[in-house]
C-alpha cells in the first residue's frame, strides 16, 4: 500500500492506493504559490491518509525534478525548488518518499495500469494549469541529463505570450487550462464557460466557440507533431 500525491497549480490531490493500483481513499486541497504552505497542506493530507500498511509515499511535482537526487530543480506555477520536499516529508511521515515530475509519474502509471500497457514508445502531454510532458522509449523514461521531457515548453510561437519559464511562445502559454481562460476572456465570454459548453456550442454551429477551440488546440497539435517527428512514438497520450 502507498500514498500518491499530485501537486498541481490549482489543486493538491492525494490518495491511498493498494498494491494492485486500486484507489482506496482520496482527498484534495487547494494549491498555493507559497511552497511552505503547500508543504504544510501535503503533510496534513498524508496524516489523514496514513495507515500502518502504507509502505511509501510518491509525489508528482510540476517542473524540473531530479528523481535520482530526490530534488526539485525548478517549477512553474508551484515552485518547490526552495523546499527540501522529499526529505522533509520523509521526516514528517517516517516513510520513504519518492518524487518525480508529475507527467513522468502519470505515464509510469499508464504503462502499468492504463492506456499505455503493452506499448514500447510513448509521448504524453498532461493539460492542466500548465502543460506537462513525458517521453518513454523502449519502455524506459527518457531523462537526458536528468530533466528531459518538458514538452510544455516546446516553442510554437516565437512572439507569443510570456511563459513562466522565462521564454515566449511555449505551448503551455497557448494550450493549457490557464490559456483557455485567456482565449475565452478575449472572445468576450465569461471565464466560467467550460470546455464541455464550448464543444456543445461548436457542435451547434457557434463560430465564436469554434474559433476559441481552434486557437486553443492548434498550438497543442503543433507540439504533438513536433514530438512525433522527434520520437516516432507508437502512442501519444493526452
Other CB atoms within a 10 A radius of the CB of residue 18 amount to: 11
Q: Where are the beta strands (DSSP E) in the chain?
A: 2-7, 11-17, 23-30, 56-61, 64-66, 71-74, 97-101, 122-127, 131-137, 140-141, 235-237
b/e burial code for range 183-204 (CB count within 10 A of at least 16 → b)? bbeeeebeeebeeeebeebbee
pLDDT at 63: 86
pLDDT at 76 over 80: no
pLDDT at 195: 86
Nearest CA among 92, 89, 84 for reference residue 58 = 89
pLDDT at 78: 78
Q: What is the mean pLDDT of residues 115-139?
A: 96
pLDDT at 194: 86
The CATH code that applies to domain 2-107 is 3.30.420.40
Mean pLDDT of the chain: 93
Q: Which three cell numbers stand for residue 146?
A: 536528468
Rounded-to-integer distance, Cα 150 and Cα 104, Å: 10
pLDDT at 83: 86
Q: What is the mean pLDDT of residues 182-208?
A: 91
Indicate the pLDDT class of residue 75, thresholds 50, 70 and 90: confident
Q: What SS3 class is residue 89?
A: helix
**Cβ-based neighbours of 85, under 8 Å, separated by 6 or more:** 39, 59, 61, 72, 97, 99
- CATH 3.90.1300.10, applies to 118-237: no
Between vectors from CA 44 to CA 43 and to CA 48, what angle results, nearest 5°?
120
Q: What is the mean pLDDT of residues 174-187?
A: 94
CATH 3.30.420.40 range(s) for the chain read 2-107, 118-237
Radius of gyration of the chain (CA): 18
Please say whether the beta carbons of 84 and 92 come within 8 A: no
Amino acid at each position: 500500500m502507498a500514498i500518491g500525491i499530485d501537486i498541481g497549480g490549482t489543486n493538491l490531490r492525494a490518495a491511498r492506493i493498494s498494491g494492485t493500483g486500486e484507489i482506496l481513499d482520496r482527498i484534495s486541497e487547494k494549491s498555493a504559490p507559497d511552497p511552505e504552505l503547500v508543504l504544510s497542506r501535503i503533510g496534513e493530507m498524508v496524516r489523514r491518509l496514513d495507515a500502518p500498511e502504507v509502505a511509501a509515499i510518491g509525489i508528482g511535482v510540476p517542473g524540473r525534478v531530479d528523481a535520482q537526487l530526490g530534488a526539485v530543480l525548478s517549477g512553474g506555477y508551484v515552485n518547490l525548488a526552495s523546499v527540501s520536499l522529499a526529505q522533509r516529508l520523509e521526516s514528517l511521515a517516517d516513510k520513504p518518499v519518492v518524487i518525480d515530475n508529475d507527467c513522468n509519474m502519470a505515464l509510469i502509471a499508464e504503462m502499468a495500469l492504463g492506456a499505455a500497457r503493452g506499448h514500447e514508445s510513448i509521448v504524453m502531454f498532461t493539460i492542466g494549469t500548465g502543460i506537462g510532458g513525458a517521453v518513454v522509449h523502449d519502455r524506459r523514461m527518457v531523462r537526458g541529463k536528468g530533466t528531459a521531457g518538458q514538452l510544455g515548453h516546446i516553442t510554437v510561437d516565437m512572439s507569443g505570450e510570456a511563459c513562466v519559464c522565462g521564454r515566449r511562445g511555449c505551448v503551455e502559454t497557448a494550450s493549457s487550462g490557464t490559456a483557455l481562460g485567456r482565449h475565452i476572456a478575449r472572445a468576450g465570454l465569461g471565464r466560467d464557460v467550460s470546455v464541455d459548453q464550448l464543444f456543445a456550442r461548436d457542435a451547434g454551429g457557434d463560430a465564436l466557440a469554434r474559433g476559441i477551440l481552434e486557437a486553443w488546440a492548434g498550438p497543442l497539435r503543433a507540439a504533438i507533431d513536433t514530438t512525433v517527428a522527434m520520437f516516432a512514438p507508437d502512442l501519444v497520450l493526452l
